[in-house]
Amino acid sequence: MPIYEYEAASTGRRCKKCALTFEVIQRLSDPPLNSCPECSQGIRRKISRPRVILPGSARGTDEIEQKVAEYERQGMYSHAAELADKESEKPEKTHLKERAMEDYKKAGYDF
Ligand SMILES: [Zn+2]
């Protein structure tokens, strides 16, 4: 579900919530809020693109792939290979197996 950022529409009275930009999780189909849920003062949605919350696992594995890419950039192919190899044991990450093999080769391992 997307997260939207809201801020007070005016600089008048503000409560603790709307004194700063705050985030609201809403369905795409939900109408935008126009008043603060705490103090009912007018608020407006910031134009920033909504962020979508990724499930914890997907987020975690993305981080692993980023780490693999970082090792590759630094020429640390054995590190990249080991990480990709370990990660590729997960059923949704089997595509990393090939990458691990390539990195192993680049690292000088012979298969
Ligand atoms: Zn408020």
13 alpha carbon – ligand 1 mean position (Å): 8
pLDDT at 111: 67
pLDDT at 3: 86
pLDDT at 77: 96
92 alpha carbon – ligand 1 mean position (Å): 43
96 alpha carbon – ligand 1 mean position (Å): 48
12 alpha carbon – ligand 1 mean position (Å): 10
pLDDT at 52: 65
4 alpha carbon – ligand 1 mean position (Å): 16
pLDDT at 48: 62
Per-residue pLDDT of the chain (111 residues; tens, 9 = 90+): 788 899 999 887 789 999 989 999 888 888 999 999 999 999 999 876 666 665 554 445 578 899 999 999 999 999 999 999 999 999 989 999 999 999 999 999 876
56 alpha carbon – ligand 1 mean position (Å): 30
10 alpha carbon – ligand 1 mean position (Å): 11
45 alpha carbon – ligand 1 mean position (Å): 13
pLDDT at 40: 92
pLDDT at 62: 77
User: Is the model's pTM score more than 0.75?
Assistant: no
| Dist CA 107 CA 60 (whole Å) | 25
Distances (CA, A) of 34 to 11, 30, 41, 43, 99: 15, 12, 8, 5, 49
Pairing type for strands 43-45 and 22-25 reads unpaired
